[in-house]
Chains A and B, each alone.
Chain A
Amino acid sequence: MSESVVIVGAGQAAAQTVASLRAEGFAGAITVIGDEPYLPYQRPPLSKAYLAGELALDRLFIKPREFYDDAKCTLILDTTVTRIDRELHRVETHDNRSIAYDALVLATGSRVRHLTTNGEDLPGVRYLRGIADVEAMQSYLKPGVKLVIIGAGYIGLEVAAVAKKRGLTVTVLEMAPRVMARTVSEQLSAFYEAEHRKAGVVIHTGTRVDKIGVVDGTSFVVETSAGRVPADIVIAGVGILPNMELAEAAGLKVANGIVVDEFTRTSDPKIYAVGDCADLPCAHSVTNRARLESVQNAIDQAKHAAAAICGKPKPYTEVPWFWSDQYDLKLQIAGLSGPQDQLVLRGDPAARSFAVFRLRAAAIVAVEAVNAAPEYMMGRRLIAARAKVAPERLADRAVPMKEMGG
C-alpha cells in the first residue's frame, strides 16, 4: 500500500481522487498541487450560469475547504509542477519545492487551443477555460456589445446563448459545414443552428477566419471568408489540448494524451493519469481508445485510480456522458459517435423534445437527447448493455423507453 499520494492538478478529477482515496480507506498522506489560486472548481458552469452572473464564485467550488482539512489533504495552490523525478519518486515545483510520492496521479487537465497565423497568436482573441477568463469577460456582457465567437462547439454555442440573453449582438464563425460537427449528428446540428438563429444569433458555417484587425485598441474587425465582421470582443472556443508535457518530459508514454491502461495506470506503475489529460482504452470508441473531455470521465477515472492505488483495481468500462445547456434546451449525450453509425430519430424536433440514437452492428452505442431525459437515461443503460433494439421500435414514441429493454 502506498504511504503518500501526490496529485498534480486541482480540478474535478483531483477533488474526486481525494474523496475516493479516503472512501477506499487510504490512510496515508495526500497532497494536491494546482497552478490556479482556487480550490478545485467545476468548469461546466463557466460557460453557462457563472458567465451569466447567476452563480456566485463560492458555488463553483466542488468541495469546501473543510473537506480537504477533514481529509488531511495538503492543498498547494498557485503552484506549477515543473518536473517529475521518476527515480527518486519526487515532483518538483516552480518555486523549488520537492515533494515525495509513492503513487502519483496526474490530473493535469487540458488547456485551450489557440488560434494562430504564421505561428503567432491572433490578436485580441480571448479564450474561456478558467475563472479568471470569465471574470475578464463579464464587463462585456451588456446590451449592444458586438461579440464574435470563433468556433461553434459546446463552449462557443453556450456562450452565444448566454450573450444573446444579455442583449449582445452575436456572430458565430465556424470552419466546419455545421455546428458541433465533431460530436453530434447532422440532425442535431441543424436543430441547434435553427434555435440559435431564432434567438437572433448570426451563424456562418464553412467560414474561415483569416485575420483580426485591431481598430483602435479596443475594437476589432474579424476578416473571414464570408466577409468582415466588427467586434468589441472576440472569444474563441476551438478545442482543448491535453496537458501532457510534464509526463512526456518524464519519459512516460504519450499519444493523444497521457497513455493509460484500463486501471488508469501510465507506463510507470507508480504513476496514474485521470481526466482530460488521459488517453484511455475505451470499448465505446470505434478506435478502442479515447480522450474524454468531460466531468463524467474525470469523476469515474478518479474513482478507478483511487481503487487501484488502494490495491483494488477494476477495469474502467463506464459509458461516457456529457451535457450542454443552451437557452431552455438540455442536451444530454451518452456513448460515443462513429462515422458509420446508423441513426434513428425518436420524437419530433419541432416539438423541441427528441433524440437521435446511434446503432453500430445493430446495438445501441450512443444517444443524443434534447429535452428528452427518458431517452437519455434509458439510453445509458441500453448502451452499457450493448442492447439491440429494432430501429422501428426505437423510433416509436408510443413505446415507452422503459420497455425498450426487450
Chain B
Amino acid sequence: MAKIKYIEFSGKEHVVEVKTGMSVMEGAVKNLIPGIDADCGGACACATCHVYVDKAWLEKLEPMQEMEKTMLDFAEGLESNSRLSCQIKVSDALDGLVVRTPKSQH
C-alpha cells in the first residue's frame, strides 16, 4: 500500500491509497482522478496515461523498459521526468509518490 499524490494540470491535488501490485495508472482510474485515460487498459499500447514524476522520486522507480521508453518518445509534452503510469508498479517503497498529469490529457 502506498499513498500517492496525483496533481492535475490545473493544480488540483488528490491523495489516495493504492494497493501494492496495482499500477499508478490503475490507482488513478479506480479513484476517479481525471487526466489519466488509459485507453488500452495498461497494455502499453496507447500512451494516454502519461505522467510527470516528481523529480525526487524518479530514481526510486524501477527503470523503464524499452517499450515504455519508445512509446513515451512520441507522447505529447515529453519531459525528462515523463513516465507511463501503467508501467509503474505500486509498492510500499512508493509511499508518498507524487505525479502530475500533462495538459494534453485534460
Contact = CB atoms under 8 A, between A and B. Distances in A.
- Asked if A and B are interacting partners, one says yes
25 contacts: A59-B22, A62-B29, A63-B29, A64-B30, A66-B32, A70-B32, A295-B39, A296-B46, A299-B39, A321-B46, A323-B43, A325-B43, A330-B43, A330-B44, A330-B67, A371-B67, A373-B67, A373-B70, A373-B71, A373-B74, A377-B71, A377-B73, A378-B74, A402-B73, A402-B74
A64 B73 CA distance: 31
B70 A295 contact: no
Nearest to A45: B41
Interface string B35-50: 0000111011111000
A42 interface: yes
A377 B47 contact: yes
B26 interface: yes
Nearest to A401: B74
A45 B44 CA distance: 13
A374 interface: yes
Contact of A377 (B29, B41, B70): B70
Given A323-B45, A374-B73, A296 B39 contact: yes
Contacts of B29: 62-63
Interface of A: 42, 44-45, 59, 62-64, 66-67, 70, 295-296, 299, 321, 323, 325, 330, 332, 371, 373-374, 377-378, 381, 402
A382 to B, nearest CB: 11
B73 A323 contact: no
B66 to A, nearest CB: 8
A63 B67 CA distance: 26
Contacts of A402: 73-74
A296 B39 CA distance: 7
Contacts of B40: 44, 295, 323
Interface string B56-78: 00000000000100110110000
A46 B17 CA distance: 27
Q: How large is the interface on B (under 10, 10 to 19, 20 to 34, 35 or more residues)?
A: 10 to 19
Nearest to A16: B39
Contacts of B47: 377
Interface string B16-33: 000000100010011110
Nearest to B67: A373
Contacts of B46: 296, 321
A235 B70 CA distance: 35
Nearest to A298: B39
A172 B100 CA distance: 46
Given A44-B43, A374-B70, A377-B71, 20 more contacts: A44-B40, A45-B41, A59-B22, A63-B32, A64-B32, A66-B32, A70-B32, A295-B39, A295-B40, A295-B41, A296-B46, A299-B39, A321-B45, A323-B45, A373-B67, A377-B47, A377-B74, A378-B74, A381-B74, A402-B74
Contacts of B31: 64
A70 B34 CA distance: 13
Contacts of B32: 63-64, 66-67, 70
A63 B70 CA distance: 28
Nearest to B48: A299
Contact of B41 (A42, A66, A67, A374): A42
B101 to A, nearest CB: 15
B89 to A, nearest CB: 13
Contacts of A323: 40, 43, 45
Contacts of B45: 321, 323, 330, 332
A296 B47 CA distance: 12
Nearest to A55: B42
B23 to A, nearest CB: 9
A45 B73 CA distance: 25
A100 to B, nearest CB: 28
B41 to A, nearest CB: 5
A66 B29 CA distance: 11
Given A45-B41, A295-B41, A330-B45, A374 B74 contact: yes
A371 B45 CA distance: 11
A111 B63 CA distance: 40
A321 B43 CA distance: 13
A63 B31 CA distance: 9
Nearest to A66: B32
A271 to B, nearest CB: 25
